[in-house]
Structure 1
């Protein structure tokens, strides 16, 4: 078990270095929480709580800074669903999302399910870099 943990930590250190980031203890710990379980969406507050539960002593400001550093390095993607609430996605490929408002939950729309047509021409000197679609969900009234 210890050897597997050391291998995982070495892989994360390499991933951070390859992204141009120094593999500090806190970055490694947060990267382990973020990337150990496959693709996921997480807010800074939720990751901070996970870190505290795992015994990792990091401030909320450190979590925010690390998430933004990971995003700038191309390791995460921001999913903006509400004005003040940002979710971070470990799947950095182009894809769209559902947002379940009542539970503040973001999840991927299966690929190939959304077709975007008739986009406007971008202004001169610009190009469309990405189109993000967030479909908001709520329970139907009974």
Structure 2
């Protein structure tokens, strides 16, 4: 793997989605490779199954919404995506699997990264016995100020 692949996996995925899938333990089927190209072609992004399904339909590749959900879940389990629980009605998937936090723009129904490490988490000193923190996900919900 080249330095670019180590530092920027999305960069490599556009060139070698099959290899990325194999390294993650997934068989590179035609549909997984196609969806991987859609996901990683333009750098880091946040998608829902429905938005990826629309992109797939617009590319005229026959893939069902169920296949999209299956692939997104398989990519997440393999460590290629990060699932975000923004609200109970739908999940978002992030191609950037590094530790970072998010804004949810309610008026635009859109997720964006919080720049840098500007979120500070304090006061999580006493965990239940035998437990450790696996990951901290912060989603800050934003909306436009009402003009009074």
Tell me the TM-score normalised to structure 2 length.
0.88
Partner residue in 2 for 1:95: 100
**Structure 1's 9 and 106: CA in aligned 2 closer, same or farther, altered over 3 A?**
closer
2:139 paired with 1:134: yes
| Pairwise CA RMSD | 1.5
SS in 1 for 2:103: strand
1: CA distance, partners of 2:14 / 2:132? 39
SS in 2 for 1:80: strand
Shift of 1:33: 0.3
2: CA distance, partners of 1:74 / 1:103? 28
2: CA distance, partners of 1:121 / 1:50? 45
Partner residue in 1 for 2:61: 56
Question: Which runs of 5 or more structure 1 residues have no equivalent in the other structure?
Answer: 1-6
Aligned length: 136
Partner residue in 1 for 2:24: 19
SS in 2 for 1:103: coil
Residue pairs, 1:1-142, within 5 angstroms: 11-142=16-147
Tell me the TM-score normalised to structure 1 length.
0.92
Please say if residues 100 and 137 of structure 2, whose CA atoms lie closer than 8 Å, have aligned partners that are also in contact. Answer: yes
Shift of 1:42: 0.1
SS in 1 for 2:21: helix
2: CA distance, partners of 1:52 / 1:78? 22
Please say if residues 19 and 75 of structure 1, whose CA atoms lie closer than 8 Å, have aligned partners that are also in contact. Answer: yes
Shift of 1:22: 0.5
1: CA distance, partners of 2:32 / 2:15? 13
